[in-house]
Amino acid sequence: MTDPAVDTGRRTFVLVDGENIDATLGQILGRRPAAEERPRWERVTDYLAQWSDQPVTGLFFLDASNGHLPMSFVQALIAMGYRPVPLSGADDEKVVDIGIQRTLAALRDHDADVVLVSHDADFVPQVRDLLDGRRRVALAGFREFMSGHLTALGLPFLDLEHDVESFRTMLPRVRVIPLTEFQPEEFLR
């Protein structure tokens, strides 16, 4: 395996749609998630460094249109090796989506692999444009909430809870379980 600390030039970019993941967690929990119920984002980049066998750059997109940055969260992201991308725009603009779309489009000109952490169909054209045979492209999130338009692209999918193990506790999810992964003990607790 490549040592992630050694920069070989090629890397994996992880684009995190923080709003989308937080909203999806809210749907799973039936309420706003508490800090301890959110993903451990360092586990995501650690997992992806092993998965891709190359250095990982995490870009975490935030809506800062109100002029406020959640500094403790931003500092935590930086400490975990992420590059926060705080964006602002007009009230009618989906600034995080636009920022991710532009970044996906810019990545076409880079020798890099890409993992999109979002369930949002708004990214289908830009993700499809990256499927040029020169790079690995994958999706991460919760399969049962992933846009059918994204899954139709046939990309590898990494479940944030079950594959990446980015949560400290088991989430109350109802998901289709492949029989090869079925563990009866999970239902006997």
pLDDT tens for 66-78 read 988 889 999 999 9
Beta bridge partners, 138, equal: 115
Q: Give the dihedral of Cα atoms 39, 44, 46, 52; nearest 10 deg.
A: 170
**3-state SS assignment for residue 140:** strand
CATH topology of domain 11-187: Rossmann fold (3.40.50)
Asked if the model's pLDDT at residue 4 lies above 50, the reply is: no
Q: pTM of this prediction?
A: 0.89
CB-count exposure of residue 116 (10 Å: 0-12, 13-18, 19+):
buried
Structure tokens at 75: 């500092």
Average pLDDT for the chain = 92
pLDDT bracket for residue 5 (50, 70, 90): very low
Identify the residue with better confidence: 177 or 156.
156
**3-state SS assignment for residue 21:** helix
Distance of alpha carbon 60 from alpha carbon 95, whole angstroms: 13
pLDDT bracket for residue 31 (50, 70, 90): very high
Distance of alpha carbon 146 from alpha carbon 163, whole angstroms: 15
Share of the chain above pLDDT 70, in %: 96
Intra-chain end-to-end CA distance of the chain, in Å: 37
Helix (H) or strand (E) holding 113: strand 112-117
Q: Residue 1 has what pLDDT?
A: 45
Cα dist from 84 to 48, 76, 187, whole Å: 18, 10, 38
Asked if the model's pLDDT at residue 85 lies above 80, the reply is: yes
